Every structure is written in C-alpha cells, then in structure tokens.
C-alpha cells in the first residue's frame, strides 16, 4: 500500500494523471462506500491522502484532467461525499466548471446527502449548465436504484419540485430520464401543465412505460393544442401496435396524417407503418394518392407502406408509380402539414424522389411471400415507358433493388440493361447480376448470338470480365 501511495504522490507532483489512476486501481475494494453495513465509516489515513490528492487535481486541473480524476472519487468511498458537497454548495465559488464536476461526481454516490445537495442546487441555483447537470445526476442516481432509500428520496424530492413553477421543468426532465415505474404517477400529474415543454417531456417519458393508465393519456393528447405534444402522443401510440384493435389506433392515427403540423404527420405515417395492417396501408395511401402532401411526408409514407410488407401495401406502391408517371405531379409545399398545400415545381434534375424511394423500398422487402411481387412491380416499372423511370438514377436504383431481391425473373431484364447508354446503369446492372448464380454461362451463350446489338454485346463482354472474378 505504501508503495502505491508513494507512486500516487509522485504522479500528482508530476501531474501524471494517468499514473495516478493506475495507482488508485490497485487499491483494495473500498471499505467505506455508501450503503456499507451499518453505515460504517472508516476514515483510513491512506484513503484520506488519496482523497486530498484527487481534490487537488479537481480544484486545479484543466477540463481533461478533471474529467479523468472524476473517475477516481467513487473508489474512495462515501466519505468523499462531504468535500464534494461543500464544493457544490459554495455559491461564491467563481469556478463554475468545478461545481459542475462536483455535481457530476455526486451522481455516482447513492447516499441521501448527495441527493440533498443535488436537489438544493436545482432549487436555488440559477446557472443553466449546473442545474442541468444536477438534474442529470439525479436521474442517473435514481435509475440505478442501488440504494432503495436514496432512490426513494430522489423521487420524492423531484416530485416535490413539480409543485413549484421555477423548478418544475428541471424536475420533469430529471424524472423523464429515470425510466422507472415509480415516476409514472408524478409525471401523470403534469400532463396538463400550462407549459408545452413540460407536457411534451412528461408525455415522451410516459410513452415508454407499459401501464394501463398511459394509453388514455396518449389518446387525449392527440387533441392537444401544441404540435410537439401531439407528436409525442402519436409516437407513443405507434409503439402500441398490440392495442390497435382495442384503441382503434388506425382510425386515431389516420386523423394525425392530416394534421396542420408536418412533424405530426410524419410521426403518424411512421406509427401507421408499425401497425403492419392493410387498414393502415389504406390510410397511408389515401394521402399518397392525393399527391398534395409535402415531399418529405410522401417519402415517409412510401417507407411506411414498405414496412407493412403485405401484398396490398406493395400494390399501393405500384399504383403510386403509375400515378406519378400518368399525370402531372402535384408535390406539396413544405409549409405546415397536409391541408391545403400548393404544388411546388419538380425537383432539380427532374428526378422523382418519391419514385426513387418506392424503388428502394421495394428492394428491401424480405418476407418470402411478397418478394416475387416486389420484383414483378420493379420489372414492370423497368419495362414500362414511364417517363420518370427513364432517368438514369432511377434505372440504377431499379438494378440495385432487383439485385437485392435476387428473383431469377429479373436476370433477363438486368442483362438488357447492359446495353443502356448510361455507364452508371451498366455498372449497377453488373453489380446486380453478380448476386445471381449461373449468370456467366448464360452470358457466354448469348455472346454467340449474332442478332445482338453492338451496345449489348459490348455490355455483356464487360460483365463477363467482372463476373469471372
């Protein structure tokens, strides 16, 4: 032990914090930690010396040095709490960073005095950084629940702070990070708070719990006047697909697709995708078919239809491609949500981003019973005369998606793409063909066909060079 202490003292003198940490790691398991039987406090001289050395670094070091030495204090036991509490409580201390570190370190101690000090900071201090760290430290302390008494004290203290306007927001933030069922009741008490941020934070935290009291709260919040609250409620309900029949979630979430706020609309599209039913697909396609929604929402709806992965949802994607190529596009403006948007011009470069997303989504289909359908839809698009599908980037996307699906029915069409005038399309077709077995012999047999166009013959030759390796 003496040798370790000598090395530690030498490390501090040389400001070698890495060596100091190594020395402290060699110490026996701490004997005076918080929660020891009977609250035993054995202030051994060697521990006191190490505490003194660690405090010196904490008080005089730079940010990085303080960060490193902060890892030492939990090993020193519960009697390291008192000096840290003193630092945190010293409002006259001009070094705000020092107090910030004291709060951070106290979050690792599961003792009532540590909690009391952190709670006091939330109640009395006006430094945003310091109070935020105190809230985070309390949340961390409560979440681990290593000390039942400390945990209960943290919950009670934060619950008490909910009753005061000046501390309510910080208390809700801290409670939201604990994610323990004990926080449900206090969080429920503020779901109708006048502050939007408080309601939003409380609802986001509550949505993560499986408790019978929460679904009705989420449904009610769909009607909140604040968009952030409606968004969190929509997200929370999207995580409860198992309750969709009981709560009539498809109908509820379908209404949110037409919200005036685009973020709420996008959240509803994601939530409906998680329902995984044809009814959800019907609601999603109703918006997509209208064609007036903002582009980002249309893209999200396409993704959600892809997640559902039923024959009906894929047919809807096929219909969307046909619709976008059969009449003038009416992409919605990105101003608010889905109601009453004005059309916007085509995307620069005349690339239809919705079609591009549909192609990519179909290539990610995994359910065996719909993979062939997905491939057929892509092949129909490839072999159609749809004007937007003729864009080289969309053809490249088609080749990539067909390669992912690995449906043998795509091989002939991919071979024909080797004659395309765009080099990128050719290389994407070659990359897709590499995913199929037995392609090289088929290409070698085709080379002997004198009826091939020069472009196709050249493309096959290039493909063979790469398929042989």
Q: What is the pLDDT along the chain (469 residues), one digit of tens a residue?
A: 557 767 777 877 787 777 777 776 675 544 444 444 344 444 444 678 778 888 988 988 889 888 888 888 888 888 889 999 999 988 888 888 999 999 999 988 878 888 888 888 887 877 888 888 888 888 776 555 566 777 787 888 889 889 988 889 888 988 988 888 999 999 999 999 999 999 999 999 999 999 999 999 999 999 999 999 999 999 999 999 999 999 999 999 999 999 999 999 999 999 999 999 999 999 999 999 998 999 999 999 999 999 999 999 999 999 999 999 984 444 333 334 554 333 333 333 579 999 999 999 999 999 999 999 999 999 999 999 899 999 999 999 999 999 999 999 999 999 999 999 999 999 999 999 999 998 999 998 888 787 889 999 999 999 999 887 6
Lookup: tokens for 263:
């973020």
**70 contacts 117 by C-beta, under 8 angstroms:** no
Position 27 scores a pLDDT of 59
Q: What is the pTM of this model?
A: 0.80
> So what's the pLDDT on residue 24?
67
Question: Distances from the Cα of 330 to the Cαs of 63, 147, 324, 326, 454, in angstroms?
Answer: 55, 60, 9, 12, 40
Contacts of 47 (CB under 8 A, 6+ apart): 30, 32, 76, 77, 79
Q: How far is CA 336 from CA 230, 238, 258, 332, 466, in A?
A: 14, 22, 10, 10, 49
């Amino acid at each position: 032990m003496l040798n370790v202490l000598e090395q530690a003292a030498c490390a501090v003198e040389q400001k070698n914090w890495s060596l100091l940490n190594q020395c402290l790691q060699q110490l026996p398991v701490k004997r005076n930690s918080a929660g020891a039987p009977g609250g035993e406090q054995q202030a051994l001289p060697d521990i006191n010396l190490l505490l003194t050395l660690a405090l010196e670094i904490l008080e005089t070091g730079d940010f990085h040095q303080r960060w490193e030495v902060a890892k030492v204090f939990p090993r020193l036991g519960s009697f390291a709490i008192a000096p840290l509490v003193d630092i945190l409580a010293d409002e006259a201390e001009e070094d705000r960073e020092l107090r910030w570190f004291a709060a951070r370190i106290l979050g690792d101690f599961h003792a009532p005095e540590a909690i009391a000090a952190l709670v006091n900071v939330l109640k009395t201090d006006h430094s945003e950084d310091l109070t935020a760290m105190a809230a985070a430290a309390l949340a961390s302390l409560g979440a681990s629940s290593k000390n039942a008494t400390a945990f209960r004290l943290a919950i009670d203290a934060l619950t008490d702070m909910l009753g005061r306007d000046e501390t309510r927001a910080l208390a809700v933030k801290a409670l939201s990070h604990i994610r323990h069922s004990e926080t449900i009741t206090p969080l429920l008490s503020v779901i109708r708070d006048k502050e939007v941020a408080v309601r939003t934070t409380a609802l986001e935290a509550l949505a993560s719990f499986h408790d019978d009291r929460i679904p009705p709260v989420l449904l009610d919040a769909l009607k909140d006047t604040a968009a952030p609250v409606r968004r969190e409620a929509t997200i929370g309900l999207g995580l409860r697909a198992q309750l969709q029949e009981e709560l009539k979630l498809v109908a509820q979430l379908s209404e949110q697709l037409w919200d005036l706020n685009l973020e709420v609309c996008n959240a509803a599209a994601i939530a409906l995708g998680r329902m995984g039913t044809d009814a959800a697909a019907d609601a999603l396609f109703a918006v997509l078919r209208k064609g007036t929604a903002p582009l980002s929402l249309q893209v999200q709806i396409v993704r959600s239809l892809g997640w559902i992965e039923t024959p009906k949802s894929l047919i809807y994607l096929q219909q969307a491609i046909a619709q976008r190529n059969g009449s003038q596009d009416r992409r919605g403006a990105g101003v608010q949500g889905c109601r009453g948007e004005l059309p916007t011009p085509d995307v620069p470069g005349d690339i239809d981003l919705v079609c591009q997303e549909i192609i990519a989504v179909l290539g990610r289909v995994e359910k065996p019973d719909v993979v062939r359908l997905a491939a057929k839809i892509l092949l129909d698009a490839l072999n159609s005369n749809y004007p937007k599908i003729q864009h080289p980037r969309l053809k490249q996307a088609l080749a990539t998606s067909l390669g992912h699906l690995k449906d043998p029915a795509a091989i002939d069409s991919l071979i024909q793409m080797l004659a395309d005038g765009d080099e990128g399309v050719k290389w994407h077709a070659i990359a897709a063909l590499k995913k199929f077995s037995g392609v090289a012999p088929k290409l070698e047999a085709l080379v002997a066909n004198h009826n091939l166009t020069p472009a196709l013959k050249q493309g096959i030759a290039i493909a063979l060079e790469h398929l042989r390796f």
